[in-house]
Amino acid sequence: MEDSQSVPAAGRTNWRRFAVAVGVPTAVAAGLVVALQTGALAANFVVSGTQFKLSAATLEGDGFTQYSGVLKDGSGNYIPAAMSGIQDATLTSLCQSVSQSTPLGQITLQITAATGVEDSADKDKKVQASNLLIGMSELGGDATFTNIEIGNDAGSLTKAGSAKGETGGFGQQADHVTIHSLKQKAYSTSASTFKLTGMSLKLLRGSGNECY
């Protein structure tokens, strides 16, 4: 994806063309539940600029919006991102990883949850999340949308609560999204609740330990 326009200092971007990218990542640290006291979904925290990977066997999401946006890192740089909001989501066989070079070599933080429960009808066995906002750069998988609307004014989006963009920007929304074999790279996520059933967190040394 290329954009010939620069990102203005106010933190806005107005992309002429915006590709469909959907997904739900988890948090990048052991604190996996972020309480948003205002109830508003806004990427108002400073991101590290390091991307993390997430994979899942299945994602089911009710109330989906997407729009162009930007994130800000600790050096004050703006990062273009596809912002996606999902009001309620369930995931199975979730894996999230972030890998960095250290004086001890390559270290990967890997989190897994709800492994091997794809065929279960019990929602409590799956990862459950509400009021997600994701800033991502890449998404892959087999996606199906229900009642999708493409080309909305980003400021008019309503299907994922307050997850919407700037007036005049490009947006899209759907009642429901299903993704199989989800693979995603993201910079940030926020959520009002995030329940990870059967969570496992590991620090792994060496290469080849990311989710994909």
List pLDDT tens digits, range 76-123. 888 889 999 999 999 999 999 999 999 989 999 999 999 999 999 999
Q: Are 146 and 177 in contact (CB under 8 A)?
A: yes
Parent domain of 109: 52-205
pLDDT of residue 96: 95
Q: Residue 49: pLDDT band by 50, 70, 90 thresholds?
A: confident
Residue 86 lies in a domain: yes
Residue 103 lies in a domain: yes
Q: Are 135 and 43 in contact (CB under 8 A)?
A: yes
Residue 144 lies in a domain: yes
Number of folded domains that form the chain: 1
pLDDT of residue 44: 57
Residue 20 lies in a domain: no
Can you give the chain as a three-state secondary structure string? Answer: CCCCCCCCCCCCCCCCCCCCCCCCCCCCCCCCCCCCCCCCCCCCCCECCCCEEEEEEEEEEEEEEEEEEEEEECCCCEEEEEEEEEEEEEEECEEEEEEEEECCEEEEEEEEECCCCCCCCCHHHCEEEEEEEEEEEEEEEEEEEECCEEEEEHHHCCCCCCCCCCCCCEEEEEEEEEEEEEEEEEEEEECCEEECCCCEEEEEECCCCCCC
Residue 110 lies in a domain: yes
Residue 147 lies in a domain: yes
Residue 141 lies in a domain: yes
Residue 198 lies in a domain: yes
List pLDDT tens digits, range 122-136. 999 999 999 988 999
CA distances from 84 to 79, 81, 120, 126 (A): 15, 9, 27, 21
In this predicted structure, which of 18-22, 70-74, 83-87 has the lowest mean pLDDT? 18-22
pLDDT of residue 39: 31
